Amino acid sequence: MSARLVACVLALLATGSLGAQAKPSPARDDTNKKVDSTAAPQLVREVYSYEGGGRDPFMSLLRSGDIRPLLSDLRLVGVYYDGRYPARSVAVLRDVTNNKVYRVKPGNIIGRLKATTIRPREVVFTVQEFGFERQESLQLAKQEVTP
């Protein structure tokens, strides 16, 4: 016999004897009775419920069909415009449905709205709906001057 064949036979014999040694003994409880190993396993699932404020982050947006806030629900309350660095400008918006306040900078996203540009008296949003984008703007209400 060749040396290679002898090595294979020895390897098989070694694994066979190890396999015989590694057989687990049947599980026994304190009274030395055999435990039923054919019992159906119990499945335990972890359940999570969200009770925080706002939208449930685990609920599908496709199922609800409602991505808030809508542009029609927002009012522009104030603009803090930085003429030197327009990227540092901040617009303050209020949702009229729940009085939530949003502070946005250029590039921030709220729902389907992305703040594109902030000007001294208006904010330009890019609205993403049904795969299309359009530009909409919110302007500060004109202040009435009393004589």
Q: What are the structural domains of the chain?
A: 67-139 (2.30.30.830)
Mean pLDDT of 100-121: 92
Find tokens 């901040």 and name the residue. 90
Q: Which helix (H) or strand (E) holds 64?
A: helix 61-64
Question: What tens digit of pLDDT does each residue of 39-75 get?
Answer: 777 888 887 766 666 666 676 665 555 677 888 889 9
Question: Contact, 17 vs 9, CB < 8 A?
Answer: no
Mean pLDDT of 9-16: 71
Question: What tens digit of pLDDT does each residue of 68-79 get?
Answer: 788 888 999 999
DSSP E strands, the chain: 74-80, 90-95, 101-104, 109-110, 113-118, 122-129, 132-139
Mean pLDDT of 86-91: 92
pLDDT for residue 105: 95
Mean pLDDT of 85-98: 92
pLDDT for residue 41: 79
